[in-house]
Amino acid sequence: MSNVSKPGRPTDGSAVRPTETADTPATPLESVEGEIREFVRRDVTNPRRLPHVDSPDFGSGNVNFLIERVAGTSIKELDHLISELQTVRDYLQSEGERVQREITNYAQVSQAAMSSAKVILDSMGQWKSTVGTGRGERS
């Protein structure tokens, strides 16, 4: 593995975590990213150790324990991750719907402004022709 560092990333392998205060709650996306970082950090810094082969407990019970430990933790983490991803999906869907409503409102306001500008332009054209005709008759 090369030690080439990317801009904005620490070279010691630690993750950059956004600072979070009580005034600025994390968005669901930041929360999910933090959970993923924490999961990876925990998995990398705490490698799972297998018991000695010589020990008397290295039987089927120990294999079951290892499977339960690995699968149980992984399943819980995956369930939690799925839950967080569903929350992010719901958030993104609601934001998409909000943006669509904003675009629709903008289109309606824009259409109304164009109609108003046309009415004003037509009125000014009639006023200008009336004023121009009135001046032509006086001469």
Q: What is the number of domains present in the chain? A: 1
Question: Is there a domain that residue 42 lies in?
Answer: yes
Question: Residue 90: its pLDDT value, please?
Answer: 97
Give one word for 25, left, alpha or beta, with left for phi > 0 and alpha for psi -120 to 50. Answer: beta
Domain that holds residue 88: 28-129
Q: Which of 28, 26, 35, 25 is nearest to 88 (CA)?
A: 28
CA 3 distance to own-chain centroid = 30
Question: Residue 4: its pLDDT value, please?
Answer: 46
Question: Is there a domain that residue 76 lies in?
Answer: yes
Question: Is there a domain that residue 139 lies in?
Answer: no
Distance (Å, rounded) from C-alpha 81 to C-alpha 32?
7
Question: Residue 48: its pLDDT value, please?
Answer: 55
Mean pLDDT of 53-76: 70
Question: Is there a domain that residue 20 lies in?
Answer: no
Predicted model pTM: 0.41
Distance (Å, rounded) from C-alpha 68 to C-alpha 133?
96
**pLDDT of 7 over the 50 cut:** no
Question: Is there a domain that residue 47 lies in?
Answer: yes
Question: Residue 107: its pLDDT value, please?
Answer: 97
